[in-house]
Amino acid sequence: MNARSQQWDIFCRVVDNFGDIGVCWRLARQLSREYGLQVRLWVDDLGALAKLNPSADFTGVEVQRWPDVFPETSPADVVIEAFACELPANYLAAMVSRPPLWINLEYLTAEPWAAEAHGLPSPHPTLPLIKYFFFPGLTPNTGGLLREKNLGQDLDAARRLGFQSTDGAINISLFGYENGSLNSLLDAWTQGAEPVVCWVPEGRLLPQLTAYFGQSLAAGMRLENGGLSLHVLPFLSQDDFDQLLWACDLNFVRGEDSFVRAQWTAKPFVWQIYPQAEAAHIPKLEAFLGLYCQDLPQQVATFWRDWNAGASVDWLGFWQYRAAMQAQALTWQNQLMNQADLASKLVNFHKNHI
Ligand code: TRH
């Protein structure tokens, strides 16, 4: 089958925040741009996608709203159900007469079981259909990570964001969920000898920053307090957000998608993992720390753990290892670059199933 004639459908439900659609949009765009596939993206919340892509340039991808009553639709050759979002019943029934490759694209985890479960078939309980588990991951025997061919730094984009290099200052991006550690970090930055320029896109941390500084903050504002210069940015397009990470010396990221992006920049970073009930996220955090921090001084992992626990953080104890973290970020990026990426693995998975 020629790639141009291949239809891929990606189904995405926006459960929370921007990670679900962030991943699906990147994947849809890459499959279209790099593989010439006909990609249709079904998403239940077009508003979330519009925030990531405000220019509404969807070239190559047919974006469709996933309505409550799903229209009669011919199933694609490859059907990706992102994060177990459950296909519409009538679409599923239509798959029976011409079964596509049906994939459940799972959440990313560094836990070893992901490699074991990657690619496993799961027969449908009543219909003659098989769904395959596709686990993104950080080791070669998983589904890999999203990585476009044109990955890289764009200095013009950083300038558009207002980025200028300030002598001796540390540029830091800050993206996270509400976090009890934040005040201790701000104390360290405002009182520190080394100037910090912090770039924070509008979002869930703004109320906390407002409370800390006793001053209401909005996009476009800049605040100076001791050693800290805080720049509040609007919520950025996804491409600009990526560039913010490339431009900074240290990135605080969260969730799944920005976590991966931070790794591509080869810069030191701190990850706030998406919190789950019964602390189910802690083993995931530890699995990643086990891989990423094994050769770093223990203060680095301690800082990550404290940041995720909402405990007071030791900024100087962490940042003294800047050079070691920078070296590790580069080694890690190289290691990941030597592995096949998620889109190419999906395309090969399909080839092997035809
Ligand atoms: O938004 P998130 O918290 O998403 C979460 C996680 O994906 C989590 O794993 C999942 O279980 C939950 O959603 C449902 O964090 P994440 O994954 O980093 O996604 C944020 C996206 O938003 C990412 O694509 C980057 C993008 N972004 C912008 O485009 N502009 C911005 O200004 C910012 C701050 C983010």
What confidence tens digit (pLDDT) does each residue in 57-107 have? 999 999 999 999 999 999 999 999 999 999 999 999 999 999 999 999 999
Q: What is the pLDDT of residue 157?
A: 86
Instruction: Let me know if 190 is exposed, middle or buried by CB neighbors in 10 A (0-12, 13-18, 19+).
Output: middle
Least confident interval from 6-10, 74-78, 152-156, 259-263: 152-156
Query: Quick check: CB of 18 below 6 Å from ligand 1?
Result: yes
* Ligand 1 atom with the shortest distance to the CA of 22: 24
Q: 129 alpha carbon to ligand 1 midpoint, in Å?
A: 32
pLDDT above 70 covers a percentage of the chain that reads 99
Query: Quick check: CB of 201 below 6 Å from ligand 1?
Result: yes
If one looks up domain 155-337 in CATH, what number appears?
A: 3.40.50.2000
Tokens of 346: 């999906």
Q: What is the pLDDT of residue 319?
A: 98
The model's pLDDT over 23-39, given as tens digits with 9 standing for 90+, comes to 999 999 999 999 999 99
Query: Quick check: CB of 22 below 6 Å from ligand 1?
Result: yes
Q: What is the pLDDT of residue 275?
A: 96
Residues 6+ apart with CB under 8 A from 153: 243, 246, 247, 265
Are 236 and 228 in contact by the 8 Å Cβ rule? The answer is: no
Tokens of 193: 């000898």
Confidence of residue 202 (pLDDT cuts 50, 70, 90): very high
- pLDDT value at 213 more than 70: yes
Q: d(Cα 335, Cα 329) in Å, to the nearest integer?
A: 10
Tokens of 145: 């990570």
Q: What is the pLDDT of residue 162?
A: 84
Q: 55 alpha carbon to ligand 1 midpoint, in Å?
A: 18
Q: d(Cα 33, Cα 27) in Å, to the nearest integer?
A: 10
Confidence of residue 2 (pLDDT cuts 50, 70, 90): low
Confidence of residue 1 (pLDDT cuts 50, 70, 90): low
Beta strands in 181-292 (DSSP E): 196-201, 222-225, 228-233, 250-254, 269-272
- Of the candidates 241, 238, 233, 252, the residue with the CA atom closest to the CA atom of residue 319: 252
Least confident interval from 5-9, 100-104, 270-274, 298-302: 5-9
Kindly report the pTM of this predicted structure: 0.97
* Residues with catalytic function: 20, 256
The model's pLDDT over 121-178, given as tens digits with 9 standing for 90+, comes to 999 999 999 999 999 999 999 999 999 999 998 888 888 888 877 778 999 999 999 9
Q: What is the pLDDT of residue 164?
A: 77
- What is the rounded average pLDDT of the residues 307-323? 98
Query: Quick check: CB of 240 below 6 Å from ligand 1?
Result: no
- pLDDT value at 242 more than 90: yes
Q: What is the pLDDT of residue 219?
A: 95
Domain boundaries, the chain: 3-145+340-353, 155-337
- pLDDT value at 11 more than 80: yes
Query: Quick check: CB of 238 below 6 Å from ligand 1?
Result: yes
> Does the domain formed by 3-145+340-353 have CATH 3.40.50?
yes
The average confidence (pLDDT) of the chain is 96
* Ligand 1 atom with the shortest distance to the CA of 203: 34
Q: 185 alpha carbon to ligand 1 midpoint, in Å?
A: 22
Q: What is the pLDDT of residue 4?
A: 57
Q: d(Cα 39, Cα 170) in Å, to the nearest integer?
A: 41
Query: Quick check: CB of 274 below 6 Å from ligand 1?
Result: yes
What is the secondary structure of 303-348 as a DSSP string? HHHHHHHT----HHHHHTTHHHHHHHHHHHHHHHHTSPPHHHHHHH
Q: What is the pLDDT of residue 165?
A: 72
Q: d(Cα 136, Cα 106) in Å, to the nearest integer?
A: 7
Least confident interval from 151-165, 245-259, 274-288: 151-165
Q: What is the pLDDT of residue 3?
A: 57
Q: 256 alpha carbon to ligand 1 midpoint, in Å?
A: 7
Among protein residues, the one with the nearest Cα to ligand 1's atom 15 is 255
Tokens of 350: 């399909």
* Ligand 1 atom with the shortest distance to the CA of 52: 29
Assess whether the region 3-145+340-353 and the region 155-337 belong to the same CATH fold: yes
Q: 231 alpha carbon to ligand 1 midpoint, in Å?
A: 20
Query: Quick check: CB of 251 below 6 Å from ligand 1?
Result: no
Query: Quick check: CB of 255 below 6 Å from ligand 1?
Result: yes
pLDDT above 90 covers a percentage of the chain that reads 93
Least confident interval from 162-171, 172-181, 217-226, 277-286: 162-171
> E strand or H helix at 191, and its extent?
helix 182-191
Least confident interval from 161-165, 182-186, 287-291: 161-165
Among protein residues, the one with the nearest Cα to ligand 1's atom 30 is 236
Eight-state DSSP code of residue 32:
H
